[in-house]
Amino acid sequence: MIDEFGNERPILEELHEDEKKIHEDERNIRIAFLAIGLLFLIIIGVFYFTAQLVQRIESQKSEPVNIVNQLTPTPLVPSISPALKSTVAPSFLPSPLASSTPVVIIREVVKNVSVKDQYIPFGSGSNQTNDWADVAGLQADIDFGSYENIKEVRFEISVGIPTANQTVSVRLYNVTDKHPVWNSEVTTTNNVYAVSPAIIYDKGLKTYRVQMKTQLQFLANLNLARIHIISE
């Protein structure tokens, strides 16, 4: 073959150059296929990422509806236990609201409780006579009519006898009407708490004194003397 300068080239050299061009063409073709493959993978990746992004956006749009449905509070109606109902009463019960918890305001119900037992104390003193005598200082002005619903009235005493060898009698005396209070007399021994039967009392304001007498005229100490009013 003749080259561009008009000289003849050997056939082997020409074949070698042709083979070299073929190898270059094959390499270029491989590079082109590789570039096309990479481009194809990039396109697929872009489509996949776009699809995932769209799906995520749509799922986020639907989530608030579910959250609202789940967080909507159920109206609450307060309950009061049976034990509490006997002592408290609701002032008002607000209508159940979905946005807030109902508030219950309660007030105490106070019952009028009447006093069943009332005491009128006289105090303490001593005596050693064998006849009825006033115990110094043991006196009170009482109007039994000022006490409501009286069921009965009793006279209660406690006596201490140092010699412990005699009995002692104690009673109430109506100074205003000048007579002993009927059924008020109590006879007892040393350190015994004694209670009279239900006394028969006079209505109206009266002055009452405590009287004592001893069996053997030995000293006796009246530790307690009081009137017990029992109401119905």
CATH value of 117-231 in 3.40.50.620, 2.30.42.10, 3.40.47.10, 2.60.120.380: 2.60.120.380
Asked whether 126 and 183 are in contact (CB, 8 A), the reply is no
The sign one gets for the Cα dihedral 86, 87, 93, 96 is negative
Q: Which amino acid is at 131?
A: D
Give the whole-angstrom CA distance, residue 99 versus residue 72. Answer: 8
**Judging by beta carbons within 10 Å of its beta carbon (0-12, 13-18, 19+), is residue 225 exposed, middle or buried?**
buried
Q: Which two tokens stand for residue 36?
A: 């096309």
What is the pLDDT at residue 176?
96
Give the whole-angstrom CA distance, residue 88 versus residue 107. Answer: 6
At residue 124, φ and ψ (nearest 5 deg) are -135, 165
Give the residue extent of every domain in the chain.
1-72, 73-111, 117-231
Q: State the pairing for strand pair 133-143/205-214.
A: antiparallel
Q: What is the pLDDT of residues 166-198, one digit of tens each?
A: 999 999 999 999 999 999 999 998 888 999 999
What is the pLDDT at residue 68?
41
What is the pLDDT at residue 62?
60
CB atoms within 10 A of CB 42: 10
DSSP state of 146: G
Which residue has 């082109």 as its token pair?
32
What is the pLDDT at residue 4?
54
Q: Which two tokens stand for residue 185?
A: 């007399």
- If you compute the radius of gyration of the chain from its CA atoms, what whole number of angstroms results? 58
What is the pLDDT at residue 5?
52
Q: In which residue ranges of the chain is pLDDT below 50? A: 65-72, 77, 83-93, 98, 106, 108-112
Classify 164 in phi/psi space as left (phi over 0), alpha (psi -120 to 50) or beta: left
